[in-house]
Amino acid sequence: MKASRLGGALNHVFAYGSALLFVLPVYILVNLAVRPSDNLSSALTPTTSPTAGNFTRAWTESHLGPALINSMIVTTVSCLAIVVISTMAAYPLARSATKLSNATFYLFLMGMLLPFQVALLPLYLMMRDAGLLGSLWSLIIFYTGLQMPFSIFLVTTFLRSSVPLEFEEAARIDGCGNARAFLHVVVPLLRPVLGTVIILNAVGIWNDFFTPLLYLFGSHQLTAPVALFQFVGLYTTDWPLIFAGLSISMAPVLILYLVFQRYVIQGFAGGLKG
């Protein structure tokens, strides 16, 4: 009895400690975002004179509004393309048991092993030759190709483990063709894994700094992380404005996660069964 109580107490301590570990960065973010620029004491010390002016300055001085719109366009179009293409590619891979389909599936998995930095220079030259540098389409094409192997892996494993073939066979008996069975039977059952794909890809695309800095260099189209970088100087850095801008830019991703959070665990659980 004492051992069970001790185990329960340790579980509570671990849970509260983990919660504190994750809440602490959020506290530091908000604490520095409302702190005056001339009062940069310890990040853990609560500010005595909070101000909301940092949010206004960060919004206007970094032109954060247009940058957020660009980030939304890139993230939305890229995630839509990833979901559509990965679903259409994963379906035949999951339903076919031939050696060719298995080899194709493992070929996609090899794309997860290659660091994208290896292809960064060739892709940059290709974008330049295609006249796409400085446009949002360069980022959309890059992110769609980069995230495709992992997305196909998730959707394929989920299809194999959590979507029985009997549902499609019943639909075909009722007169549905392959396309209708796929659209009206299979795709609705993929909501958990597609929600997972959207969350994971959207967060990575939204927060990426290096690729937009490289592909949009010299243009007026900037994403939110690149727009906030102007507050980083050679000798001084305006941390309150950076953290205020980060607080604004993280709001869309937080809302997206709250919408799809119930699908994330279901998507991973279904994929891990395979």
Q: What is the pLDDT of residues 214-223, one digit of tens each?
A: 898 878 888 9
Q: Is 109 exposed, middle or buried (0-12, 13-18, 19+ CB in 10 A)?
A: middle
Tell me the sheet residues that pair with 237. 232
Are 247 and 226 found together in one domain? yes
State the total domains in the chain: 2
Are 123 and 248 found together in one domain? yes
For the record, the structure tokens of 72 come out as 């939304």
Taking alpha carbons only, the member of 76, 88, 79, 75 closest to residue 152 is: 88
Are 108 and 216 found together in one domain? yes
| CB distance 192 to 87 below 8 Å | no
Q: What is the pLDDT of residues 43-90, one digit of tens each?
A: 677 777 788 888 888 898 888 899 999 999 999 999 999 999 999 999
Are 193 and 132 found together in one domain? yes
Task: List, run by run, the mean pLDDT of 10-residue segments along the chain (274 residues).
Answer: 66 80 84 77 74 87 90 95 94 85 85 80 89 92 92 90 81 80 86 88 92 87 89 73 88 82 62 48
Final residue in a domain of this structure, among 51, 70, 89: 51
Are 10 and 41 found together in one domain? yes
Taking alpha carbons only, the member of 58, 36, 60, 57 closest to residue 47 is: 36
Are 44 and 69 found together in one domain? no
Are 87 and 7 found together in one domain? no
Are 153 and 245 found together in one domain? yes
Are 23 and 116 found together in one domain? no
Range of the domain at 12: 1-51
154 membership: H or E segment, kind and range: helix 136-162
